Each structure stands twice: as C-alpha cells, then as structure tokens.
Amino acid sequence: MRWILRSLLTIAFLGLAALAVLPHTATIRKEWNNLRETWAIVRSGEDVQPVTEPSKAPARSDRGRTVLKPDDAPLSDTAITRTDKDPFLTEARRRAQDDPEAAMDWLQTQSLSQDTLRGMLEIVAVWAAEDSAGALMWLESNAQGLARLETLNSGIQLWSQQDPVSAATWIDGMANDGSKVTAAKALAANWAKQSPDDASKWVEQLPPGSLRNEAAAALVESWTATAPEAAAIWALTEAEYHGNKDLLNLSIQHYAQINPDEAEQFLRSINEAYEKPVAIETYVRTLAQNDPIQAMDWQSALPATDPLNTPNNSEVIMQEWSRTDSVAASSWLNEAADGPQRDAAIVGFTTTMLDFDPEAAIAWSNTISKPDQRIDQLNRVIQNWSHTQPHEALKWVKEAELEPDLRHALASQIGAD
C-alpha cells in the first residue's frame, strides 16, 4: 500500500515540475543550442572572446555585442579633434611646419574660399609659435578684410604669451587703422592676464583716441576677472585724468557681476569723495539685470543719506525689469505705496513700455502722485505715441479722466483742436 502512495506522490511531483518548466521550454531549448554551438567552437580550437552578460538577454543576432556608454568610450576616440579629421587643415599645418610663408602662398591657390580663414588661422598658430614677428609682418602686408583682423588677433594672442613687450613695440609701429586697434585689444587683454601693471603702463602711453580707449576697455575687462578692485581703481584714474567715464562704468559693470557686495562698498567709498555721483547708474542697472526684485529691495533699504541713494535708481531698475517681465513689474507698481520711489519706477516702466504698449504706458503715467512729474511724463508719452498712432493717442486723451486744461494741452500736442 505504501509503494502505491509513494508512486502517486512521485507522479504528482513530476507533473507539477513539468507544468512549471513548460513555459520555459523555448528558453531551455535556445540555451541548449547555444551550449552545443559553444562546445563545437571549443572543439574546433578557435579563440573565444569573453562576453559580458547583459542584465537583459538580447536577441540572438545581438549576442556578444554591447553598447558603450559615454564614460566607457575610449579616450583615443573622443580626443580626436576636428582639425585632426580635416585633411585640408592637416595639410595646412604640415606645410606651415615646413615653410609657413610657402604655406600661405599655397593657401591662396586653393579654391576653398569658405575654408581660407580656417587655414590661415592654422598656419598662423604654427608660424607665430616659432616666429611671431615674421608671421604678423606677413599678415600686415598680405592679409585683407576679415581674414586680416582675425589672423592678426590670433597671432598677437600667441605673441603676447611669449614676449608681450616685443609685441607692444611691433604694434606701436603699425599703421593707425582698424588692424592696429584689433592688435592692441588682443595684446592688452592677454597681457593683463600675466602682468596687469605692465599692460596698463603700455596702454597709458598710447595717444588719446579710439586706439587707447579700445585697448583700455579690453585691459579692464580682462583684469577684472582676476583683480576687480585694482581694475576699477585704474579705470577711475583714467576717468579722472583722461575723461574716460565709459571705462569706469565698464569696470563697475564687471565688478558688480563678479562680486556685487564688494563693488557696492568700493562705489560707496569713491562717491563719498565726489560731489557728483559716479557710476551708480551702471551698478544699479547691473543689479537689476541680475535680479530686479532684489534690486528694488536693495534700493528701498538704502538710507536717505546714503551716497548711492539717488532718485534715478528706481527708474533704472524698472527700465530693466519691464524689458524682461512687464507683468511682474506692473504687479510691483500696483502694490507699491505712493511716493518718490514709485513715481520714479513708473517713469522707468513707461519709458520701456512706449515701444511695446503705449496705451499702458500713458495709463501708468497718469497715476504718478507728484503733479509736475505726472504732467511732464504724460506730455512725453503723448508726444511719442502720437508720432506712430495719432488716432489712438487722441482717443485716449478724449476718454481719460484728465483736468480740462491738461486734456486740451495733450490734444494740442497731437494736432487736434
């Protein structure tokens, strides 16, 4: 009796096992075939490459293939530059290494106008590394148009890294044209990264005019990246003794972008010594471009006696704010309390909105709390609006809530009786 029971249990177990294996029959058959193929390869003596088993088995035709992720890509493949893959630039570089002047002559014979500048820059890079003066001399005598400016700029950059004093002497002897300005800007910007004091002394000896102004601007922009206060002090000196106020504004703009708190303290210190505000508008405009809400909060918190607190600040902030987000700017105006700050902000808002929505501009102008300022701004907006849309402007004047005398004066500006 026991053996019958055991037999039934065994049969039941085998039946359950068969039912469990049945859904995987195809997989087992496929793996058995793979095993047989692998064993046949091993017996034949062929090399077998190890394959990393992916987490999910691919189709049979993809067995042994894996997709490289970005981090797994060979460095030798990603390190190849476009220049290395470009046969034209490769040939230009090869010729430049043998004879750069001959390489330039060869370049002129090629019918590749769109690639000429790229080829010249490649040759200049090789030539200037060995003989910067010779490369620039050839460019000054032979290069024309955009190629002349671009290659001179590239050559001066390389020379300024090797011998900026010699590069400066060479630039001093150039003809006074746009090429000289391009070269001077390149030298000043690159020299400032190595020795800003020497670079500034060279700029100081340049004659007054566009050459000096352009070189000074390039110097300050580069110098500010590493020593913004020193650059601002030098720019202040240029503004005092040579009247280059734009240079000081440029230095404050970059200073405020890098470190607005330090720039504020610097600006406050110099404005305490001057009767007229210096570069405050530039600083405030930079704050507004970065974060107009924060700029308005900053302005609101300034004490009345602070040298940076000028009536123009709110106007400048709102000009910048309304250029990028007029909805948020108008919401701030709606919530702001009447007073000088709000009135100045309305002037800034309407000045910008005149180009986009003159009806909104004049409606806001009519809410200025100071009577004289309100009338002046209404006259300004109507005069501007009537040049482009006289009928719309006149309609607003007739329908708006205005004093009779003011209505008549605004209508007269439009040309209506």
- pLDDT tens, residue by residue, 326-341: 999 999 999 999 999 9
Residues in the chain, pLDDT under 70: 1-85, 107-108, 110-120, 123-124, 127-128, 135-151, 275-276, 416-417
Whether 234 maps to a domain, the answer reads no
**Residue 57: per-residue pLDDT:** 41
Angle, in degrees to the nearest 10, between helices 228-242 and 210-224: 160
Whether 131 maps to a domain, the answer reads yes
pLDDT tens digits for range 3-18: 565 666 666 656 655 6
User: Residue 214 in contact with residue 246, Cβ under 8 Å?
Assistant: no
**Residue 77: per-residue pLDDT:** 43
Whether 135 maps to a domain, the answer reads yes
Q: Which structure tokens are listed for 8?
A: 């039934």
Whether 134 maps to a domain, the answer reads yes
Whether 310 maps to a domain, the answer reads no
Whether 90 maps to a domain, the answer reads yes
Q: Give the integer Cα–Cα distance in Å for 308 and 157.
A: 39
Q: Give the integer Cα–Cα distance in Å for 280 and 143.
A: 44
Whether 46 maps to a domain, the answer reads no
Total count of domains within the chain: 1
**Residue 314: per-residue pLDDT:** 96
Whether 146 maps to a domain, the answer reads yes
**Residue 68: per-residue pLDDT:** 36
pTM of the model: 0.65
Chain centre distance of CA 349: 26
- Enclosing domain of residue 118: 82-162
Chain centre distance of CA 205: 32
Alpha helices in 354-403 (DSSP H): 358-365, 371-388, 390-399
